[in-house]
A and B are shown apart, each in its own frame.
Chain A
Amino acid sequence: MRYTATAMVCGGFSAIYECLSHGVHSDFMVFLFAVPLVMGTVPALVLALMGREPPAAARRLWACAVLTLSLGFCVEGALEIYGTTSELVMVYWVLAPALAMAAVVVGLGAVERGPQR
């Protein structure tokens, strides 16, 4: 639900931003909503259907990855629409996959250990 709500907020934000951009568009801004939707809602549904719940640490790491990538899309989109660039945006593209991978590793580790009580 949180990810779906976030996707809706992101969609609304990018729609308003694009409306005020005089026809200049950025794919990053257009598809901003897709980040929480694809990385949040979809995996959550799949896990719910499988009856699995990842450990809290993995969920937190994954949420941080989604937040980081969403911010990266938002910032890159805004910069593209303005017509400028920043090398600092690279930080998002490095951090987000790293956090996502860490979440997967922590999640898989918990699955291998199995129930501890």
Chain B
Amino acid sequence: MPGRHVRGPRRGTRGAWLTLAYVVAILCFTAYVVLDTFVIRRTYSAIAVGSAAQAGSAITTSTDDSAASVSLSTTRYENTSVYVVDLYADDVTSIMAALAEGTYGRNITETTSEMAEENSATVAVNGDFYGARSSGYVIRNGILYRDTAASDDQEDLVIYSDGGFDIVTEGSTTAEDLLDAGAWQVFSFGPGLIDDGAITVTTDSEVDQAMTSNPRTAIGKVSDGHYVLVVSDGRTSASEGLTLYQLATFMSEQLGCETAYNLDGGGSSTLYYDGEVVNNPTTNGDRISERSVSDIVYLTT
């Protein structure tokens, strides 16, 4: 049949065009995935407001300035510059969190110093960069923003409005239960470094795929009313950075923390104190530059 002789090439041409169309489509989809993950801004509403938020806002507006104080010290530890801010606050709700542009969402970021200035913070560090992930509990200033668990063994830091610090796994509780229990802040990064005075990481512990010394940010409780923020430099010739175990050891032995928790680190690690960034945040390698992040932890005196 004459028709059969021409059908083959036509079918082949059609197949080539279909293949080309698929290649274009999958490349466009890949571009969309990248844009959706890193560029396209999405905002979401809060899920619930806890009793701690209502009480906290009242306390915050009536807190006497002298009720909270801060002091900064710098030390060298394991060939790394480490910055320690001691926070003394009668009321733990003085430890506030701020979201970039005051908005909860994805791909909404500002630098730590920008957020600190907008909130008149005396001291601020980067938070857990919740916006880089689509799951993991988020409670800030007593308001529940995200209640989807990242995984059963994801360790969160819970700061209760009564001053208690607790490290919990997301598989052991729900975000709603934490809110009902009076959670003021819940950070979902980790891991927990010290719990009940004992170091809970090993020399092999790391954040996901990272296996090197890094800039770090951590928060800890020394005793009732005494808290610490710790930031270390890293990835530079002047500072190697710390492993999680070194960070935990420092906070246990040098600072006497009974609870400590690792926040987002690497290029995000930033410490703002008294109007300026005092550490050496690194972005894109060893370039000293502040990275834009989703959130900060801060205190105003």
- Show the binding face of A for B, using Cβ within 8 Å: 20, 22-26, 56-57, 60, 63-64, 67-68, 71, 75, 78-89, 91, 95
Contacts and interface: CB of A to CB of B under 8 A. Distances in A.
B26 interface: yes
B39 interface: no
B132 A83 contact: yes
Contacts, number: 73
Contact of A86 (B23, B36, B208): B36
Top 10 nearest A-B pairs by Cβ distance? A23-B212, A84-B132, A60-B19, A24-B210, A88-B33, A86-B37, A25-B209, A24-B209, A71-B30, A64-B22
Given A26-B209, A63-B19, A68 B214 contact: no
B285 A20 contact: yes
Nearest to A22: B235
A95 B27 CA distance: 13
Contacts of B211: 23-25
The majority secondary structure among interface residues of chain B is helix
Nearest to A78: B34
18 contacts: A25-B209, A25-B211, A26-B209, A57-B15, A60-B15, A60-B16, A64-B23, A64-B26, A67-B26, A71-B30, A75-B34, A79-B37, A81-B209, A82-B132, A83-B208, A84-B37, A85-B133, A86-B37
Interface in B208-238: 208-212, 214, 235
